[in-house]
Amino acid sequence: EIVLTQSPATLSLSPGERATLSCRASQSVSSSLAWFQQKPGLAPRLLIYEASNRATGIPARFSGSGSGTDFTLTISSLEPEDFAVYYCQQRSNWPLTFGGGTKVEIK
Amino acid sequence: QVQLVQSGAEVKKPGASVRVSCKASGFPFSSYGFSWLRQAPGQGPEWMGWISAYTGDTYYAQNFQDRFTMTTDTSTSTAYMELRSLRSDDTAVYYCAREVVRWNLIARAGSDPWGQGTLVTVSS
């Protein structure tokens, strides 16, 4: 199965700053990668699919890039509601797998 | 609006079975598939399997193949999962999520939306 490694584990930033989250796959997943945001006590929410496509209703400050084994989620200017845990998921190979998550916390 | 509403929390003893439902509304049920996922306390999500509400085709993660079953009822727009022979490490929040209707399209889409989650606690 494909292993996804997310870094850093924790990102401490202030509102208004730029956040850059990384997801690396153990083998190529082409562009078949999704990003999710999860807040405490809530279900994950789809942000990005197919590496760079924003899901319906997702603000433009969220962007995804990459292909093959290296992917990035960028939040251009952090809003207070963006402090959460972010997961990547590969959808190229069965079984679908998730990374371990990056927590974006307020500095 | 598009919504998935899951059944309520369950407490089960080791060795028992649990069935969780996921009622869909706001979209044509048979035009989609559904993934089931779980999240143990403090962990990331884990994908368990996918089912097409149109064809009934299923894909199961190998970890669950022997004791996990997914079904759909198009008459009530409801997806179901059943996990048998429960162990303490099955304690988790279980989620359903809407997916594409055919497995060969799954790489180009995302799981959206998710249900609110169902806490399953396995304890003697």
pLDDT of residue B98: 98
pLDDT at B78 over 90: yes
DSSP code per residue over A49-82: ETTTEEPTT--TTEEEEEETTEEEEEESS--GGG
Distance from CA of A80 to the nearest CA of B (A): 22
Q: Give CA angle at A43 (A40, A48), nearest 5°.
A: 105
**What tokens appear for A101 in the block?**
């998550």
B6/A13 Cα distance (integer angstroms): 35
pLDDT at B39 over 90: yes
Interface touch B62/A95, C-beta < 8 Å: yes
Mean pLDDT in consecutive groups of 10 residues from the start of chain A, 107 residues:
97 98 98 98 97 97 98 98 98 96 96
Interface touch A43/B111, C-beta < 8 Å: no
| Nearest CB to A92; choose among B95, B107, B115 | B107
Q: How confident is the model at residue B24 (pLDDT cuts 50, 70, 90)?
A: very high
pLDDT of residue B65: 78
DSSP code per residue over A6-23: EE-SEEEE-TTS-EEEEE
Q: Which of B58, B114, B119 to mutate to probe the A interface, most A CBs <10 Å?
A: B114
Q: How confident is the model at residue B64 (pLDDT cuts 50, 70, 90)?
A: confident
Region B82-97 average pLDDT? 97
What's the sign of the alpha-carbon dihedral A93, A95, A100, A102?
positive
A47/A55 Cα distance (integer angstroms): 5
Region B32-43 average pLDDT? 96
Which residues sit opposite B38 in a β-bridge? B46, B94
Region B40-63 average pLDDT? 95
pLDDT of residue A52: 98
| Nearest CB to A91; choose among B61, B106, B116 | B106
**What tokens appear for A75 in the block?**
């939040």
